[in-house]
Structure 1
């Protein structure tokens, strides 16, 4: 993988090699969080574009974090998530960086609502004009239905007028009809939603069920073409199911509040509260062994 010599922070000549002895260094001597991430990225032979493609963190946010500017992250919770994600991408232990962030920004903050903070990362669906063809078809169907109903109702009225009314004992010449209606087969009870609701997912597709079991969380789901399937806030107890013939891409704003079922199997990853996760699942997931 080549490293471009550009002024955007991708050139290895302008930054010294990364020093692995971060934990033992005094606070005055250790590099800043952004400097440490930048040094580790260059030491790993990666450009900003490489890191952005691997983590799906936007290039502008990667640049801002490497310059110790965490404002574009949208809050402390999401800044921590980006630091953790970038550190893993450049083969760096995120724990010392998170401790340093806590020291410099006043400790662990209270959770921040997910939906407003991820506003910058959402992909808005394209606006579409009204479907006039569907509206015309619906209007034609409504007119035909009304005319048919009118004709049927009028025919029933004429038959009722022509049918003689039985009088006196003559009305009882036939067999007496039973007053007890025939018992009909009881309707099958509607199955309640359960973990088996996606157990019969087709093998030629990937099926993902997202449930907000532990609290509310913002989520985003896209299909293999990058089209947005869902982008919004799941309240506690809500769930969404997504299906695609190749893959499903997920972004979880608070992964600790989410339960995942992929192709009928529960995902056992121990997600932490407030943790941002970007996940991709295909037809063969989850892989066992």
Structure 2
């Protein structure tokens, strides 16, 4: 009978290191699939571009534009798929060098301590400058007075009758610019009857929008800034996704859409030929 560890105690431990855990992108992809969401659904809910969602799920963070934006996208996508973003951010920092260390405060205080003392104003230089200015002003006044006397004598010799050319011309009144009017129901005549025309404008703020034709071809996918507008046209149907519908004003086939969109609401809309009707 031997005394000591049994063979079962000498079995190797299972690998439970951090490397065994899924990557940040893999964890986000698995959580999205488990939640029954597509990449389009996550992009619409978070306003993160579809290409960036695909890149992050493939652990490619270069399209994010930097570590700060990458952390923000990871946090947004994690919340959309019901994950705790804290462990994912920590894993990202561990794999990409961590957050930059804060600047120590000691050198700042040292720089403040060795700053030279302020000296008082140089009154001698100020007095010299003032004397030079007074002398220059006196000389200029005397010279100007002599020129004025000569001009007066010339005017008496030639006569004081003003010529017709010296009269100031009557200023012309500028015509006021015609006021810009918004598209109204009368614009229906300008819209082609055999096509569907959709104008999207952002008078109240910026909003991400996506527009596709009846074949699913992407017409536009991006941010519409405040004051900008886009017009889309198709032979039968236009599909829209509005990231912030409250900031958008729509004109379909020349008619203004009076839907009461709420700020921050995501709206999916479809418009066809004829009168504007939400599909």
| TM-score by shorter chain over 0.5 | no
Larger Rg: 2
TM-score of the superposition, structure 2-length normalised? Answer: 0.36
More helix as a share of residues: 2
TM-score by length of 1: 0.35
